Amino acid sequence: MTPTRPLPSRIVGVLRRPRATFQVLAGSPCSAGVLVVAFLAAASASALVLETEVGALALLDQLERTVSAVERPMDDAQYAVLRDMSEQGTAYGVVTALIGGPLLAVGLSAVFVGVLRAPADRGVTYRQVLAVVSHAAVILALRQVIAAPLVYARETMASPLTLGTFVTVLDEASPLARFAGMLDLFILWWLVVLAIGMSVLYRRPTGRFALVFTGAYIGGAALVAVALALTGGAL
């Protein structure tokens, strides 16, 4: 069995040398430590912002937009419920970090094992896949840490790390601008790193995994952008 690297070394390795890091993890898989660190980092970053007045107002605006897109008009009782929810910033940060961290890693690993398993891949275990997916989650946690102060500065929960943030020449209401606003650069990075990890475990070309993962994400964003354009901005 390959000796396990210290947790800080593995975290840095995912960001700087993911292939070499995943090769070590394939021989000595471990997940718990990195999942805890990533969860605490993401939850803390979100909670610190959402517990401020600016963060609470930004969360309230997001919740109101989400409900209004599904059910209109919204009455005073519904608004009061959303206002109470927006005042629970720590709970919201913890829940979203839990869903986007440990729960996502466990579920996504099960999907990968079920979909990618073939007779020739019987040596790839769920534990190995979970180790790769868990360490890739470092990128999602880093995304939250970087986004938190930007959310506070911009006073909105809309992701400040999308392609749309850097493409300002487009009309915000245009389908192309909506599409760009859905392409989160950190999620694209995360998908490429996942592709590297799966290629290490399953010994298949990285490009094939990257094309499937990023293609599904970009295609989904395009469909949502078209749907928003057809419905006037409300799904």
pLDDT in tens, the chain (235 residues): 556 789 999 999 999 999 999 999 999 999 999 999 999 999 999 999 999 999 889 888 888 877 766 666 666 777 788 888 888 888 999 999 999 999 999 999 999 998 887 655 567 899 999 999 999 999 999 999 999 999 889 888 888 888 877 766 556 666 777 788 788 999 999 999 999 999 999 989 999 999 999 999 999 888 887 777 676 554 4
pLDDT at 235: 45
DSSP codes, 45-99 = HHHHHHTSHHHHHHHHHHHHHHHHHHS-S--HHHHHHHHHHHT-HHHHHHHHHHI
- Count of positions (residues) in the chain: 235
CB 67 within 8 A of CB 74: yes
Q: Is residue 108 part of a domain?
A: yes
Q: Any idea of the CA torsion for 149, 150, 154, 158, to the nearest 10 degrees?
A: -120
Calculate ∠ Cα 6-8-9, nearest 5°.
65
**Residue 118, SS3?**
coil
* pTM greater than 0.95 (yes/no): no
Q: Is residue 119 part of a domain?
A: yes
* Six-digit token string for 34: 């990195």
User: Does the residue 2 lie in any domain?
Assistant: no
CB-facing half-sphere around the CA of 19: CA atoms within 13 A = 7
In a domain, 37, yes or no: yes
Domain of residue 124: give its range.
7-231
198, two tokens: 């799966």
Task: Output the pLDDT for position 143.
Answer: 94
Q: Assess whether the previous peptide bond of 6 is cis (omega < 30° from 0).
A: no
Residue 130 lies in a domain: yes
Task: Please give the C-alpha separations between residue 170 and each of 65, 91, 100, 164, 233, in angstroms, as whole numbers.
Answer: 22, 36, 30, 9, 16
Could you tell me if residue 1 is inside a domain? no
Number of compact structural domains in the chain: 1
Q: Which two tokens stand for residue 141?
A: 């946690």
Report how far residue 53's alpha carbon sits from residue 111's, in angstroms, rounded to the nearest whole number. Answer: 39
Report yes or no on 77 lying in a domain. yes
pLDDT at 178: 77
Peptide bond preceding 205 in cis form (omega within 30 of 0): no
Q: Is residue 27 part of a domain?
A: yes
Q: What is the pLDDT of residue 9?
A: 93
